Amino acid sequence: MSKELDYLASRVIQRKMNRRSFLGRASALGLSATAAGTFLSNAAHAAEPVKGGTIKVALSGGSATDSLDPALSTNTTMSSITRLWGQPLLELGETGGLDPIIAEEFSSSPDARVWTFKIRKGISFSNGQPLTAEDVLATMERHAGEESKSGALGLLRGIKDMRVEDGAFVVELDGPNADLPYLLTDYHLMIQPNGGKDNPTAAIGTGPYVIKDHEAGVRTVFERNPHAWLDTMGHADTIEILAINDDTARMSAIQSGQVHIANRVPPKIAGLISRAPGVEVRSTAGPGHYVFIMHANTAPFDNKDLRMALKYGINRQEMVDKILFGYGSVGNDTPINASYPLFTPTEQREYDPEKAAAFFKASGHEGPILLRTSDNSFPGAPDASALFQQSLKGAGIDLEIKREPNDGYWSEVWNNKPFSTSYWSGRATQDAMFSTAYLSTADWNDTRFFNEQFDQLLFAARAELNEATRTQMYADMSTILRDEGGLIGPMFNDFIDATSDKVAGWRDTKGFDVMNNYAPAKMWLVG
């Protein structure tokens, strides 16, 4: 049977048989649909990459206000675009380790205060200019500068000195940080000529592609970078990314064969999409979470009793059941879950309308509370807001929902308005997640969380080399954030993507959705 299955799988990979026919033949041989699908997927993985053609991708999250400056990237569309033209020092590996990219190796002093990154030689930017350690230094200087608006700014705080020594990039920290290499995988930190100081939006990097045409929030077309050096990606001749925020339109595009890859499959129709001819649904558990964020320094959310009323007034299991349709897990008002290596669960907060009502009364607040939402914030966000509205009614709390336009949501609403729906894809480590969004000085502190004890614990954890002690510190930080912060985190979402049977090379990958945003670069057309 194995030889016949190998033959049938090769026919699918060569586009001489469709996936449905393969499953039917495999079933006749006594193989279950699940086992046959796994066999076919493994066969595609084992196949050699095919060069040529155009891969088309439909992504949610794009906006007309998006910038090509990687420092300002805020969504999946832009981080995927950045992955195609740029590269960081290091990248998160498929299984969660570190892959050397621009830095071919790295090391630290015994106390993890001084880190040295040996820069790979022989690499050129897409404009033909050789990459140097000075370009790496300039990149980090731009993102860490006092006037920086970079999403990576919070990750780079605590740097005492940066310099170039013998062709290597050296970072000296104020205190030890065993996680620094993981922090430098951040998708904002793409190495640019002179760090992007001359023109941060030029999209000149060392990635597999160069931008041929770009209209923010609409369409971006790439062609191969003639100076690309990494042969494990960049298989298609061209890549076309379409920003399609409407769920129905995006799913129609993958079902009809207009695109080969689509992200953010709505959980409620994931089963239906999986039954479409020639479409494979890919579900990956991870650190992504759908949230309601309050500015804890802005009335009325500067009132802790009011924040606690809203936290007890949300039915988390109902959210998982009716919004995620089982593609995820219950959250606990912290961004950290079991996908992180040093995770300890905190006491689970449950829906309790009586407690919510008591906290609301203690807050002294009167009148409705305004929540802003959009489909662009996370799949099903308006429906989740309506569920929240209903569960709060059980506590006598009136929630008013304002549905905002999809376009411009990330520039006009998120991190600007005091109460809104949002999502985070998570980060590689607790330190990276906390430093990006919950450290008092973080540029993306979207809940306006300012807690001295939390900050002190974060800095202390970086210096703590005893794993058990460090694990407890992270657990304590999660508890502080759960009880004091402005984050209402009811659920962790699985990443649900869809691919056509006309492409191969999919690998379940740690990080963000669509293979940590690398699917367009790493997959190839079949046949």
pLDDT in tens, 258-286: 999 999 999 999 999 999 999 999 998 88
Question: Do 364 and 462 lie in a common domain?
Answer: yes
d(CA 11, CA 14): 5
Q: How confident is the model at residue 343 (pLDDT cuts 50, 70, 90)?
A: very high
Tell which residue, 515, 151, 512, has the closest CA to residue 339: 512
345 shares a domain with 476: yes
Domain assignment present for 76 = no
Amino acid code (one letter) for 447: T
For residue 415, is pLDDT > 90? yes
Q: How many Å apart are CA 404 and CA 425, to the nearest integer?
A: 21
The CATH number covering residue 348 comes to: 3.10.105.10
Instruction: State yes or no: cis peptide before 200, omega within 30 of 0.
Output: no
> Is the Cβ–Cβ distance between 308 and 358 less than 8 Å?
no
Contact between 319 and 491 under an 8 Å Cβ cutoff? The reply is: yes
Q: Are residues 385 and 314 in the same domain?
A: yes
Instruction: State mean pLDDT over 173-190.
Output: 93
- DSSP element (H, E) containing 319: helix 316-322
Cα gap 68→87, rounded to integer Å: 14
Q: Are residues 267 and 119 in the same domain?
A: no
Instruction: Establish if 80 belongs to a structural domain.
Output: no
Number of compact structural domains in the chain: 4
**Mean pLDDT calculated for residue range 167-177:** 94
Q: Which pLDDT belongs to residue 150?
A: 93
For residue 68, being part of any structural domain is answered with no
- The average confidence (pLDDT) of the chain is 92
| pLDDT tens digits for range 31-81 | 666 566 666 665 655 578 999 999 999 999 899 999 999 999 988 899 999
* CB contact at 8 A, 140 and 75: no
Q: What is the model's pLDDT at position 48?
A: 85
Rg (CA), the chain: 23
Average pLDDT over residues 299-328: 97
Helix (H, G, I), strand (E, B) or coil at 399: strand
Torsion over CA: 265, 212, 510, 348 (sign): negative
Question: And the tokens for 495?
Answer: 């990443």
- Looking at 135, 166, 196, the residue that finishes a domain is 196
Q: Is the pLDDT of residue 465 over 50?
A: yes
Task: Please name the amino acid found at residue 16.
Answer: K
Instruction: Mark residue 263 as left, alpha or beta (left: phi above 0; alpha: psi -120 to 50; beta: remaining).
Output: beta
Predicted confidence at residue 428, as pLDDT, reads 84
- The predicted structure's pLDDT at residue 379: 85
Confidence tier at 15 by pLDDT (50, 70, 90): very low
Same domain, yes or no, for 249 and 341? no
- Whether 399 and 304 map to the same domain: the answer is yes
- State the residue for tokens 């001295």: 452
Q: Quick one: 507 and 489 in the same domain?
A: no
Give a yes or no: residue 265 inside a domain: yes
Length of the chain: 527
Out of 158, 173, 196, a domain closes at 196
Which of helix, strand or coil describes residue 9? Answer: helix
pLDDT exceeds 70 at position 11: no
CB distance 49 to 235 below 8 Å: yes
What is the DSSP annotation of 323-377?
A: TSTTSEEE--SSS--TTSTT--PPPPP---HHHHHHHHHHHT--S-EEEEE-TTT
Question: Does some domain include residue 81?
Answer: no
User: Any residues with CB less than 8 A from the CB of 114 and at least 6 apart, and which?
Assistant: 108, 170, 171, 172, 173
Q: Based on the domain organization, do 329 and 293 belong to the same domain? A: yes
345 and 265, same structural domain? no
Q: Is 70 inside any structural domain? A: no
- CATH number of the domain bearing residue 212: 3.40.190.10
Q: For residue 305, what are the domain limits?
A: 289-493
Q: Which of 196, 222, 248 is the last residue of a domain?
A: 196
Q: With bands split at pLDDT 50, 70 and 90, how would you rate the model's confidence at 425?
A: confident
> Are 249 and 169 found together in one domain?
no
- Give yes or no: residues 438 and 508 share one domain: no
Percent of the chain, pLDDT > 90?
A: 78
How do strand 279-284 and strand 495-500 relate by DSSP bridges? antiparallel
Do 340 and 237 share a structural domain? no
pLDDT tens, position by position, 481-506 = 999 999 999 999 999 999 999 999 99
Tokens 């904002």, located at residue: 188
- Label residue 10 by pLDDT band (50, 70, 90): low
The neighbour count for residue 51, using CB atoms within 10 Å, is: 12
Q: CA nearest 513: which of 492, 491, 524, 497?
A: 497
User: How far is Cα 352 from Cα 322, in angstroms, rounded to an integer?
Assistant: 19
Residue 74 falls inside a structural domain: no
Q: Residue 459: CB partners within 8 Å, gap ≥ 6?
A: 158, 175
Cα–Cα distance between 497 and 514 in angstroms, integer? 6
Q: Please state, as a whole number, how many other Cβ atoms lie within 10 Å of the Cβ of residue 148.
A: 16
Let me know if residue 268 belongs to a domain. yes
pLDDT tens profile 184-235: 999 999 999 999 999 999 999 999 999 999 999 999 999 999 999 999 999 9
H-assigned helices in 364-429: 381-393, 409-412
